[in-house]
Structure 1
């Protein structure tokens, strides 16, 4: 009986182990552990869960995981600046969300410097998130501005986190934001931190880099890995790519996995490292270690109630801030979707004036599609300004030739005539697809012939008081969207000089008189003038074959917007310009405002 019972038990055990196979490598798990990393980059002020954005509430759900909470939550830069949600409190709202989610560390992107490096350090403190960068140094002392690296114990392993910032981005913020700093050789300073962390017992090295992988850049994550030895993972940012590749070390004896999630919270990266318990080193490192969770996939996840509630509270708090009066305008700078696409408008000139005030450029332009509201007569609020420029774009300067400016004007004026024809026809489907690429300007006066052929309409252009020279170079300020637009290829190909703050920030500072020469800048009546004329009656920079126009000259100019209750003096601007401006503004105010999606 006893032997029979033993036989039955043996058969049962064989059945159990045959029917229910253990997971593959289950016995190897005793020799390895895992480190789960959740990472983001280049969110640019995006924060809410939606069709195209994961958002912080769903990020928290991803962090929490099904079985294993994330061990490290890392960001590779450009988080604190972008949409008005981020900029209206100078990064403070994003800092709150970083703290709620529990970020482990971040490295700064170029736009994180937009508030100045001192304020960036404060945001790191407020968010409870160490800002890491080993190669951003004070110019006079050569000491690091931020913490170079940190060593942490994670799942029983010693992990070193290093931050590094590409020297390529030094000019990708306003010069005043990085004044007194140098961005030193990344490979040299990262290698120093690798060696130091190894000496302290760290066996896994993770680098947070704001570099990217574009071949147009002098520094990339691939170059960084290939000029150093010892990096295991690079959490990358800056170029907005979905990056996932292995790169060999300098000595050829190891590899690093370089990953990047894209941009704008479209994805969240989840990286799982398997680590040998005896050596503390990653094993089986491959591109399969990285998984991207897209915004569409994240929609299936529940939003974390705590973080979602925090987002709602911040939005309510900011609604009060947006009601703050920042300036007083003696007259309305009206907006309509159609008018801003067909001719120079008061609000377009105010926007471009703000760009000139910040950058000191020779001239400025803005695409009609980037303007989404007007400015009222009387009190102007922060919300009004954000309504004008709600997209989170930022301002850049480029060096362009006079010929490029002429070409841009020809393209824009031709598009404006097509837009006007569609408006006159009253048919929505008649509008050109690229209608929003019509340009608003400041700093120039243009005489043009609407009856001339495409490419021959511009009769004369003056930048300031001087006739434009096609061979000369000028500094042009515009938003980053226009700067890369395929509608203006010569501009897109031109060298970028600097990057500045958000469009809404610059407009707000301009209207509230935060520039030393604000009283001069607010006198905009003679800054942007478009006059209809002909090549026979005006000196010309355009082909002399342009036909004469039978139309009387017409001048379009801008509104005066001041931080004072009364408008500033125009400093001797012609009375006829002021009269023409008032006529145009009155006409614009009568147009029905029609909001459409940005072209």
Structure 2
């Protein structure tokens, strides 16, 4: 009897050990789809090179049918940018992403463009969380529309996802949109987040809107270089196309370009308590030629567009040439669309000079009729026009600041009217401007000039602090209204690049 009991006990022990080993040794796989900086480019578009959400939804649904574990993450700048989003202040985007079963989103700087009250409403209507671990209120109160992190479980292993918002939000949205908020050091907060998660999860992901641009004070590279324990950074903000992942120390950084031109995915394999494989891929729009659009998403988009069409289809003018508003162009040099907008702004106030940030120009316009929707797409931020006055010295300082990050494609690059300047892009920032003329005459540093700009820059946005204390002489409507008015009076327009901005 003792031998029999011993045998049963031994067999039971062996069985428990085998089952335990099987559980520990069980392999699991997770596919993580990701997008960033879509800027509400919802539809497939030959002109912008966008894939659109409907084709993305098809690809993600197919993966969910074929694979047991699929995650979908968004690295920010999502709710704002195109007419389909701006007319209803992001509600349409929230609805579409809910239908696509988004798991989480990190707040990008442009996600604040409708203000905090609207952001809170979007959070309440969305079935996915907004992440931003480094976002805090100055008064110490809880922020109702964000979470620091979430934890998801797949086949016995847990994934922790925390968010990092760019501190550049403080000046890359209108200052009133972030009143009372502080953006803490992403590196310090990333380490704190890892410390909070490391004993709770098996895999740590940073969902980041920091980017990898050398012109930024904080980047995802810095986080990866200085924080141990992050397995994957899904990044946005700098619009880079990172085809197969960027390894920095033991952390992989991925990014999927911009404007839904790519759908990124990472295949993660996990076994015995460890990540055994991590592979990053991008699906370019060109590869989705034969992918059918998801019926539900395309139907919803069509319904939203029909509702908006009464407003957006109104023809407001005509252009005899293509108007160049491409991101890489308006942020590094003079373009004909930049000139047109600046001319309209200067004309509105009869100002000496007009200056607007290239980052506020979000699209090009094709030759032919121009609709209200086209203009809203180009100037989507709802910025108002303001007339101020500054000294010639401050005007030069503004131009110096505007080219300080050149040749990086930063939004502070100026588009101008009434002023002409040359600069050396290889010189040290702050000493790049060579010559400046206003109305054909050499700039007088002691003279007072009237300057038309937008309320974002007037408030010190994009770092234009020299405008913040300048007196406001007059205010007008939105930039889009001013451009529509100017085009209506001057169509057909045919602006040219005239040598207003000259790189030596």
Same fold at TM > 0.5: yes
Partner of 1:57: 54
Matched length: 408
Secondary structure in 2 aligned to 1:86?
helix
Q: How much does 1:117 deviate?
A: 2.5
1:301/1:344 CA distance change after superposition, 3 Å: closer
Q: How much does 1:364 deviate?
A: 2.9
Q: Is 1:363 the counterpart of 2:350 in the alignment?
A: no
Q: How much does 1:307 deviate?
A: 1.1
TM-score in terms of structure 2 length: 0.67
Q: Given the alignment, which residue of 440, 444, 453 partners 1:469?
A: 444
Partner of 2:43: 48
Q: Given the alignment, which residue of 258, 265, 274 partners 2:260?
A: 265
Aligned counterparts of 1:84 and 1:121: Cα–Cα separation in 2: 21
Greater strand share, 1 or 2?
2
Report Cα offsets for 1:545-582 as digits up to 9, x if no partner: xxxxxxxxxxxxx9997xxxxxxxxxxxxxxxxxxxxx
Aligned residues of 2:43 and 2:52 also touching (Cα < 8 A)? yes
Matched ranges for 1:334-349 at <5 A: 336-337=319-320
Matched ranges for 1:155-170 at <5 A: 155-170=155-170
Matched ranges for 1:91-490 at <5 A: 91-141=90-140, 143-144=142-143, 146-199=146-199, 201-243=200-242, 244-248=245-249, 255-276=250-271, 278-279=272-273, 281-285=274-278, 289-322=279-312, 336-337=319-320, 350-351=344-345, 363-364=354-355, 385-391=372-378, 401-402=395-396, 441=417, 460=439, 468-470=443-445, 477=453
Larger radius of gyration, structure 1 or 2? 1
1:352/1:257 CA distance change after superposition, 3 Å: farther
Aligned counterparts of 1:155 and 1:476: Cα–Cα separation in 2: 59
Q: How much does 1:210 deviate?
A: 0.3
Aligned residues of 1:403 and 1:470 also touching (Cα < 8 A)? no
Q: How much does 1:126 deviate?
A: 2.0
Partner of 1:521: 476
Report Cα offsets for 1:291-322 as digits up to 9, x if no partner: 10000001221211111111111111111354
Aligned residues of 2:165 and 2:183 also touching (Cα < 8 A)? yes
Aligned counterparts of 1:362 and 1:290: Cα–Cα separation in 2: 48
Q: How much does 1:144 deviate?
A: 4.8
Secondary structure in 1 aligned to 2:163?
strand
Mark the runs of 5 or more structure 1 residues left unpaired by the alignment: 1-26, 249-254, 325-331, 376-382, 409-437, 447-454, 484-494, 500-516, 525-557, 562-583
Partner of 1:426: none
Let me know the Cα RMSD of the aligned residues.
5.0
Aligned counterparts of 1:361 and 1:497: Cα–Cα separation in 2: 22
Q: How much does 1:353 deviate?
A: 7.3
Aligned residues of 1:374 and 1:387 also touching (Cα < 8 A)? no
Aligned counterparts of 1:225 and 1:373: Cα–Cα separation in 2: 45
Aligned residues of 1:84 and 1:392 also touching (Cα < 8 A)? no
Secondary structure in 1 aligned to 2:281?
strand
Aligned counterparts of 1:270 and 1:64: Cα–Cα separation in 2: 13
1:63/1:142 CA distance change after superposition, 3 Å: same
Aligned counterparts of 2:222 and 2:339: Cα–Cα separation in 1: 47
Q: Which moved more, 1:53-62 or 1:383-392?
A: 383-392
Mark the runs of 5 or more structure 2 residues left unpaired by the alignment: 1-21, 324-334, 386-392, 403-413, 421-433, 466-471, 497-504
Q: Which moved more, 1:33-42 or 1:48-57?
A: 48-57
1:301/1:392 CA distance change after superposition, 3 Å: farther
TM-score in terms of structure 1 length: 0.57
Q: Which moved more, 1:231-240 or 1:185-194?
A: 185-194
Q: How much does 1:496 deviate?
A: 4.0
Aligned counterparts of 1:196 and 1:40: Cα–Cα separation in 2: 26
Secondary structure in 2 aligned to 1:111?
helix
Q: How much does 1:218 deviate?
A: 1.8
Secondary structure in 2 aligned to 1:214?
coil
